[in-house]
Homo-oligomer: A and B are copies of this chain.
Amino acid sequence: MKKQINVAIIGAQFMGRAHSNAWFDVNKFYDLPFEVKMKIACDINPDSEHGFAEKLGWEKFEKSWEKVVNSPEIDIIDICTPNNLHHSIAVAAAKAGKHVVCEKPLAMNSAEAKLMFETAEKAGVKHLTAFNYRRVPAISLARQIIDEGKIGKIHHFNAVYYQDWLINPNFPYVWRHDASVAGSGAHGDMNAHTVDLAHFLVGEMDSVCGDNKVFIEEREIPGTGRKGKVTADDATIFMANFTNGAIGNFIATRFATGRKNYLRLEIFGSRGSLGFNLERLNELEYYSTDDINYEQGFRTIMVTESIHPYLKKWWPAGHIIGWEHTFIHEIGDFLHAISNNSPVKPDFYDGYLCQVVLDAVSKSIARKSWIQISN
């Protein structure tokens, strides 16, 4: 009989739904020593329950996150709230001895993130920053190919993250437009992902220099007839120098008309190259100068075979998996780490490193200059 492990989730919006799905399904695809029990779903916004808990498999719903964090029956806290609550909840959870999963960006700034990391470490709990794209099989394979030296020394890391949900001027004012709640706009939401992938695939950065833009400065606050001033960036771009000599370029925007969730990476090395696009997340592009010269070309690897990372858990070759499955990989690996008391990545330190870069970019924009990274 398997040991039971009790989970609570805080935040019942989009990310809460995606994580719930993973907790619900993880035992079907992972061989785990635990039986996952989905105990409590929590959201401080009373409008958020509407059958959320029942529909997604949680035993009950709570409105007080403090109560949840301190509930003795809970082993794991999964934080899916807006960014301004991450820090308080995570610190309280860790202090209460809970393992913690936290959505990205980890915090409102690097100071908060650092404290979260230190608190979790001190408490001896497992902590994970939910950079789920590391566990897209194609990204895991990219890392493997890089680690094997197959693309050699990396010269360029170019990342774009394109969405277009804000191009409509009638899109209402929401919490994500308010920098005091969201921390930032496209930058924290989208560059957080690409910066973490840069850390994962290339390494740390020395210096950054950025620019940003609010294209539509006011939006209507639903039901009020008033307009809210948009303080979170619609787009942030930046240049970077990596400590290993590579140079980086990052573009994040919610004004890329026609692109829905298009995160594209291009990594050029001395022996080969890699390309990736999140909207075709089952594919990895790879170019190798080791191929016979007249046969060289970018390959599209269908990363759906049992020889590929994570795919043994899924379906036969060519049967693609969806975006949500990355959360199952994340949760599954997290549970293994708890079970084995082994490290799991990306942890809060990775969340902190990402936050340091995001902060440096913001500072560089404010100062209109290059900023050295120090952590």
Contacts and interface: CB of A to CB of B under 8 A. Distances in A.
B315 A324 contact: yes
Interface stretch (A40-48, A107-115, A257-265): A257-265
A165 interface: yes
Contacts of A338: none
A129 interface: no
A83 interface: no
B300 A297 contact: yes
A141 interface: yes
A296 B304 contact: no
Contact of A295 (B57, B271, B299): B299
A174 interface: no
Given A211-B239, A235-B247, A319-B323, A273 B289 contact: no
Interface string A187-213: 000000000000000000000011101
A57 B29 CA distance: 11
How many copies of this chain does one complex carry?
4
Interface string A14-47: 1000101100110110000000000000000000
Interface of A is mostly: mixed
B259 A318 contact: yes
A291 to B, nearest CB: 8
A255 interface: yes
A301 interface: yes
Interface in A246-286: 247, 249, 251, 253, 255-262, 266, 268-273, 278-282, 284-286
Contacts of A319: 260-261, 322-324
A262 B253 CA distance: 23
Contact of A294 (B57, B141, B245): B141
A179 interface: no
A236 B295 CA distance: 29
A311 to B, nearest CB: 10
A28 B56 contact: yes
A335 interface: no
Contacts of A323: 315, 319-321
Interface of A: 14, 18, 20-21, 24-25, 27-28, 55-57, 141, 144-145, 150-151, 155-156, 158, 160, 162-165, 167, 209-211, 213, 215, 235, 237-239, 241, 245, 247, 249, 251, 253, 255-262, 266, 268-273, 278-282, 284-289, 291, 293-302, 304-305, 307-308, 315-325, 368-370
Name the 6 nearest CB pairs between A and B, nearest first: A261-B318, A260-B318, A258-B287, A322-B322, A297-B299, A297-B301
